Amino acid sequence: MKNKIIGILITLIIMIGIMASQVMAATINASNTEVAKGEQITVTVNLDKETQAVDLVLNYDANSFEYVKGSINSTLGQGAMTVNDSEAGVVRLSASNAMASTKAVTYTFIAKENTEGATFTASGLVTESGETFDVDNVTVKVVEPAQEPENPGDQETPVTPEEPENPNTGATENNEQAGSQANSESQIVDEHGNVITKLPQTGITVFQIAGVVAVVAIAGVLVIRKIRK
């Protein structure tokens, strides 16, 4: 009986040891799988369970992305982190906080060059219990920014062509001027251009004056004839 109990205890100890040394899984993802040059992107490493301490190495394509210094974020707090980003393309993180825990670590990058696929890979992930996590990678494409449509308000206002002058207008004006000149030569007009038909002082019409002159002329002729006889 004792031998069975001892055998069971040994089996449990072996199983616990195997479980403790088992490699756990973690995931990595990006906020977008395609970004434009100049845009920011976040890359997050997710753990299967909470931990108060973590060591992690993140590799990235330094030709296509630029790491934003001081952007690493987790619930462990900035003061609990030690970051080494002196090597291009590599960010090493070591964080520990006895008063807090985390299940995710987030980084921020800026896209700087076009690429069909830049890969972010997390490795060397170790938690407070000494567990080692296998972490996959994620690939992000960088493209040119979209062209903004032209503002219709910036377009030049079309110039409205001037209407051609009416050739009859000049002729009409010339006729009016010629008529005015003819009237002024054949008729007596006042300062307002009105034809004068009466003498200004007597009120006698021009036709009346002409009749009187004719009568006087006839009378004069008759008188002269009588004198000659």
Could you read off the pLDDT of 91-117 as tens digits, one per residue? 999 999 999 999 999 999 999 999 998
pLDDT digits (tens, 9 = 90+) for 118-163: 999 999 888 888 888 888 899 999 998 877 766 655 556 666 767 6
Round to whole Å and give the CA distance between 76 and 94: 11
Q: Is the whole-model pTM more than 0.95?
A: no
CA triplet 47, 69, 86: central angle to 5 degrees?
95
Q: φ, ψ for residue 15 (rounded to 5)?
A: -65, -40
> How many Cα atoms within 13 Å fall on the side-chain side of residue 89?
6
Round to whole Å and give the CA distance between 101 and 87: 28
Q: Is the pLDDT of residue 18 over 50?
A: no
Evaluated on CA atoms 104, 109, 114, 119, the torsion sign reads: negative
- Nearest residue to 115 (alpha-carbon basis) of 65, 43, 40: 65
Q: Are 135 and 123 in contact (CB under 8 A)?
A: yes
What pLDDT does residue 33 have?
92
Q: Is the pLDDT of residue 166 over 70?
A: no
What pLDDT does residue 20 have?
47
* Residue 221 burial (C-beta neighbours within 10 Å; 0-12, 13-18, 19+): exposed
What pLDDT does residue 174 have?
58
